[in-house]
Chain A
């Protein structure tokens, strides 16, 4: 769909201005979805400039596309609220690396999307600006934390959106909203300008209705930046030029099956993995991921400590309000918990111990990838909750059990649509080794082409 739209825009069949105006109309008509916190007032003017560039033959690869941005990614002169009261009135003072690249390719930032407050959530309900509604299933949560980005794509209010993924924040809402989402390998995309949740895991990635849109966007935003020390200097392949996968080895793990509470989800994904294997002359192989059941318990101590550290700048002096005085319960829990376990008397007991187990999980995946090319699993262990359902923190954290392992291992992972259960969209998660995004996209595209 994105490929066809780009053709239409570049051939003059559809103007960038008309494309943007159509989206702005839809955003206005669908305010109840609450996908956007802010809509770019200059979007139409910017589209007119892009139209001129198209006529001159000077337009970039995203010419005229409407790009929605998660509210923790800095865009100059737009509110970067992190969906919080703390940063309610904060405006970006510079463009993030990803924004610079999008603007260079003539993509138009259509607005800033809703999210869980400071990305600390998995339901899309904890925003200071109110919960996001799931356009694909209105009584269920859209998932988070990139809830608004996923909802905006699913409701057709933008072409492509960016989110950030620390433990599943792109993949979880992509699955719940029935769209495609990708968490790139750790270090694949510069995080300069991203307001961090946990520096060891955060990655920026795309969400779109089709694999092509995600592949094209990642092709543009990936690469080393001098402003992000963890970004790796590795070549960015031509992700959007797909090659059909053939005779690959697909891994399924009984360890993931054990974590899946709703066995209907696992069985559906297992069945689809089998169909993918059959249609691509590939083989299914069972793999052992011995420590993957410790992923949640490993991830949260690291996130608590790093979030506490990262939020020390939010003291209400240079910008915003003091975070502890203005945030919601989950954000406060992570700050206070992080502070508690960072104390000197706990040295080595929490954070370092969790880092050691993180290495074991990374080794688990590295070993598995010696035997298989990709691994397939569900995205969530059960169907998304009903909007407004109460859960204790441990229950909420367990929803990330199948997505967190990719962040701990630093590998890339993508979600594609895989049917419905009880009329709720289900996503299929595909893992590929670190910096093998090309293989990931080729597999995702091969699945999409099967049209199951």
Chain B
């Protein structure tokens, strides 16, 4: 059984150490941004797969007729 709290503390410690190490780089100017002219792609009309619905339903853990059954009271 995995101890989630132990993992959380460990992950946070690793991240803290890593981010502290990045201080070596000093103050850095932020230079993010897109290199492309258009950031949005044109919507594409996809060819229809007649069996797509069947495939999706095969992957669903719980289903009832035409619906996926979502868990109740679990989240």
Contacts and interface: CB of A to CB of B under 8 A. Distances in A.
A100 to B, nearest CB: 11
A297 B25 CA distance: 11
A336 interface: yes
Contacts of A350: 15, 19
B72 to A, nearest CB: 11
A396 to B, nearest CB: 11
A164 to B, nearest CB: 21
A333 B2 CA distance: 10
Nearest to B53: A93
Residue of A317, A341, A355 with highest tally of chain B CB at under 10 A = A317
A353 B49 contact: no
Interface range for B: 35 or more
Interface of B is mostly: helix
Interface of A is mostly: helix
A386 B71 CA distance: 43
Interface in A342-379: 349-350, 352-357, 359-360
A242 to B, nearest CB: 30
Interface in A159-211: none
A23 interface: no
A291 B24 CA distance: 9
A422 interface: no
B73 to A, nearest CB: 14
Contacts, number: 107
Interface string B36-74: 000001101000010010011011110000001011000
Contact of B22 (A91, A294, A341): A294
Interface string A278-309: 00000000000001001011101100100000
Given A291-B25, A356-B28, A301 B60 contact: no
Contacts of B55: 76-77, 91, 93
A366 to B, nearest CB: 13
A76 B24 CA distance: 47
Given A93-B55, A93-B56, A226-B44, A337 B19 contact: no
A93 B59 contact: yes
Contacts of A76: 55
A423 interface: no
Interface of A: 76-77, 89-91, 93-94, 226-227, 229, 291, 294, 296-298, 300-301, 304, 315-321, 329, 332-334, 336-337, 340-341, 349-350, 352-357, 359-360, 393-394
Given A89-B59, A336-B8, A349-B19, 17 more contacts: A91-B58, A91-B59, A294-B21, A297-B18, A297-B19, A304-B15, A316-B71, A317-B68, A318-B68, A329-B7, A332-B2, A336-B4, A337-B12, A337-B14, A340-B12, A359-B32, A394-B14
